[in-house]
Structures are given as structure tokens and as C-alpha cells.
């Protein structure tokens, strides 16, 4: 974990300030994992720590997987790198014109296919759950999910009925927009550094 923190710090992927997250919530910390993923060797090292744990569970028979799917944008490179390290095919979901997470570009899921969902950051789990819904609708089975940073608040209920493997666990302090402590202070305005629209 300390190695992951040092790599994220070195890449300037850990940001402090006043942020508007894709979930609509506000936070004082943001992980811009694109800054990590621009360095293939550093990304491979961070994701490799997760891949090693998954590989051990596959070897022991605790887990079986056929492919990896990453929600666009943040999960695309993570899925590719995890797939590369586990020798599994990797593809991605993306939002259609109505904002619905969909499998496009001719990607297919076989009935009963066992799939790992790969993300850069998990805070509320919204993108992962939307991707899982698409996988199930196409006859696949979600067996696990992974992320670089697990930011679920310490007191939050686990949204997933499958295991989550994270390179780093860093619980977020979150506020609803109308109850944000940073907004109340009035010193800064929330900025949205991510690519996804707030739904």
C-alpha cells in the first residue's frame, strides 16, 4: 500500500481541494488516476499488486474469470492492463446518447461468461453497478471488481455482492452538495476535474 501511495504521489494523482464528483457529491480529495495511467510502467506496478491477488485466488480455485470489462473512461486502461497481466481479453462499456452504460463497438458477452469489472476509482460504485447491470442483461456473471483506489466512505454499506480488490483503500469524506462543509466556508468553489457528466 505504501508503494502505491508513493507512486500516486510521484505522478501527482492525489489532489487536495474542493471537488464536485460524478456522483454529485463534494469532497476535499480527488484521485486523478489518468496521471498514473500515462506511465505504463508505474500503472503496471500498481495494477500488478491487484493482479497478483486475483491470480492467487484463481490458482486456489476461489475465483474463476473469463474476461475483464472497464467502464469508460477511467476503466479502459485499467481493464486492458489487468487483462494483459492475467492473459484475459479486456474490453469496455461506455455511455450511449441517453447516458446509459452500454456495451458497443461489436463487443459481445457469452452466456455464463465470468467477468471482472475494472475501475480507476470507486467512491459510490455507480459506474461499476451500471456496468454490472449491462453484463447481467447480456447473460454474463460479475465475479469480482477491481480498482486502483477504493474511496468508499468508512461508514458506507458495501454496494457489491462480489469481492472488490483495491490497490489502495483511502476512504473519502463526502458531502451532499447542499450540506458541503467547504461550501459553507465559502472560500472555494467546487471544481469537477473528471470527464463524466453528473447524472
DSSP string, 8-27: HHHTT-EEEEEEE-TTS-EE
Domain map (residue ranges) of the chain: 2-185
- Taking CA atoms, 21 is separated from 12, 18, 58, 140, 194, in Å, by 18, 10, 34, 29, 7
pLDDT 10s digits, 89-140: 999 988 888 888 888 888 889 999 999 999 999 988 888 999 999 999 999 9
Query: Residue 191's beta-bridge partner residues?
Result: 19
Query: Residue 71's beta-bridge partner residues?
Result: 93
- Confidence band, pLDDT 50/70/90 cuts, at residue 187: confident
**Cβ contact 139:112 at 8 Å:** yes
Of 100, 143, 149, 91, residue with least CA distance to 120 = 149
Chain centre to alpha carbon of residue 141:
18
pLDDT 10s digits, 59-101: 999 999 999 999 988 899 999 999 999 999 999 988 888 888 8
Q: How far apart are CA 86 and CA 195, in angstroms?
A: 28
CATH classification number, 2-185, choose in 3.40.50.720, 3.20.20.70, 3.40.50.2020, 3.30.1360.80: 3.40.50.2020
3-class secondary-structure state, position 46: helix
Query: Residue 171's beta-bridge partner residues?
Result: none
Determine the pLDDT at residue 194: 65
Q: How far apart are CA 125 and CA 123, in angstroms?
A: 6
pLDDT 10s digits, 16-49: 889 988 778 898 888 889 999 999 999 999 999 9
Amino acid at each position: 500500500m505504501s508503494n502505491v501511495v508513493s507512486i500516486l504521489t510521484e505522478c501527482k494523482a492525489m489532489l487536495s481541494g474542493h471537488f464536485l464528483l460524478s456522483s454529485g457529491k463534494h469532497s476535499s480529495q480527488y484521485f486523478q488516476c489518468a496521471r498514473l495511467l500515462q506511465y505504463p510502467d508505474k500503472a503496471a506496478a500498481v495494477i500488478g499488486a491487484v493482479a497478483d491477488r486475483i491470480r492467487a485466488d484463481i490458482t486456489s480455485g476461489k475465483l474463476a474469470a473469463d474476461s475483464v470489462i472497464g467502464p469508460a473512461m477511467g476503466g479502459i486502461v485499467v481493464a486492458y492492463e489487468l487483462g494483459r497481466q492475467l492473459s484475459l481479453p479486456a474490453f469496455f462499456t461506455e455511455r450511449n446518447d441517453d447516458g446509459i452504460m452500454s456495451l458497443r463497438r461489436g463487443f459481445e458477452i457469452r452466456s455464463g461468461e465470468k467477468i471482472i469489472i475494472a475501475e480507476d476509482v470507486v467512491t459510490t460504485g455507480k459506474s461499476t453497478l451500471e456496468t454490472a447491470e449491462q453484463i447481467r442483461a447480456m447473460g454474463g456473471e460479475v465475479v469480482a471488481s477491481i480498482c486502483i483506489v477504493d474511496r468508499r466512505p468508512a461508514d458506507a454499506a458495501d454496494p457489491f455482492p462480489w469481492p472488490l480488490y483495491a490497490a489502495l483503500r483511502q476512504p473519502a469524506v463526502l458531502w451532499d452538495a447542499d450540506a458541503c462543509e467547504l461550501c459553507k466556508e465559502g472560500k472555494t468553489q467546487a471544481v469537477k476535474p473528471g470527464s463524466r457528466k453528473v447524472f
